[in-house]
Structure 1
Amino acid sequence: MPVGEHYFQTKEQLDYLENWLEKRFEKVYIEQGTINDIAELEALYDDLNDYLSANTNYPGWIKGIYPIRETAEKAIEEGSLYVLRKENVIVGSIVLNHEPEEAYDNVKWGIDTSYNEILVLRTLVVHPRFMKQGIAKQLMDFAKELAVSANIKTIRLDVSVDNTPAIKLYEQSGYTYVETVDLGLPYDHLKWFRLYELVL
């Protein structure tokens, strides 16, 4: 090939190379959330709830009710909220704590142990602009890696029976269905929840 000539010559080839380079070198990382993230998380929650209201609201969340600013504040205060940043912008978040819903106590789980050795996964969110890019899967993988590193024995979660995309994600991530329960929420559309567990 003569000096100065390139393998990528057509516009399509150059566009492909540019797109590949952007994905190869973009900064994507997960870290613990801080009080400096609260305003950005609140905006993410609001944007997501607006999107859900305008489309199919699979989780049944309600803007101004859940998730809200206080959701992020409480989780950050207890050190259980993690954010996924893409080019320094929060595009997803997850909460991992040791606090089960009361209904969890009435279920036979795959393993019987103290909640000090159990992570409860909740408030998994992805900004609408970054959906279908594997963000939720990255957060799920992170939860598992964090649990393993902390010698956690199992991860548990609940999901609305209507939230079929999340159910699919959890099952593809290896979580096992346990039981369907009423969490006692004061909303008719949020009565039944499927419980899942990933024994480590």
Structure 2
Amino acid sequence: MNVHIEKGTEKDIKKVAKLYDDLIDYLTERTNYPGWKKGVYPTIDDEAKANNIKSIRLDVFRKNIPAIKLYESFRYEYLDTIDEGYSMYGLDLFRIYEKVIK
């Protein structure tokens, strides 16, 4: 199996959003442990404003460094590290990030 990974661009956003929505559909039919919702993406501030969302909170596994770097690059503020009860799955601590929508 050959895997080709390349940096995404702005033109890829709609494809990524569709992939995310398809994943939400899949999780909704089962147990949606992350609690993800369609249409709420960590980089879409304008959509959040239009829907009167005051802030976006993201919980990320503490070892998911690429996600942490992404959230921090979009000015999400680190709030705390907590145990969300997933240690039985090897996910002991999660970092909490929040971005206030202005």
Question: In which range does the TM-score fall when normalised by the shorter chain?
Answer: 0.5 to 0.7
Alignment-derived partner of residue 195 in structure 1: 96
Name the one with the larger strand percent. 1
In 2, Cα distance between equivalents of 1:183 and 1:152: 24
Q: Percent identity?
A: 37
| Residue 81 in structure 1 maps to residue 66 in structure 2 | no
Give 1:1-16 correspondences, 5 Å limit.
Answer: none
Alignment-derived partner of residue 71 in structure 1: 27
- 1:140–1:188 Cα change, 3 Å: closer
* TM-score computed with the length of structure 1 as normaliser: 0.35
Q: CA deviation at 1:191?
A: 1.1
- The answer to whether the 8 Å contact 1:72/1:81 transfers is no
Gaps of 5+ in 2: 1-8
Name the one with the larger helix percent. 1
- 1:145–1:184 Cα change, 3 Å: same
Gaps of 5+ in 1: 1-22, 42-66, 83-95, 97-138
Alignment-derived partner of residue 146 in structure 1: 47
| Residue 158 in structure 1 maps to residue 59 in structure 2 | yes
1:107-166 per-residue CA deviation (whole Å, 9 max, x = no partner) reads xxxxxxxxxxxxxxxxxxxxxxxxxxxxxxxx5322x22111112111001000000000
Which segments of structure 1 move beyond 3 Å, counting only runs of 4 or more?
A: 72-75
In 2, Cα distance between equivalents of 1:180 and 1:27: 31
Aligned-residue Cα RMSD (Å) equals 3.4
Alignment-derived partner of residue 29 in structure 1: 14
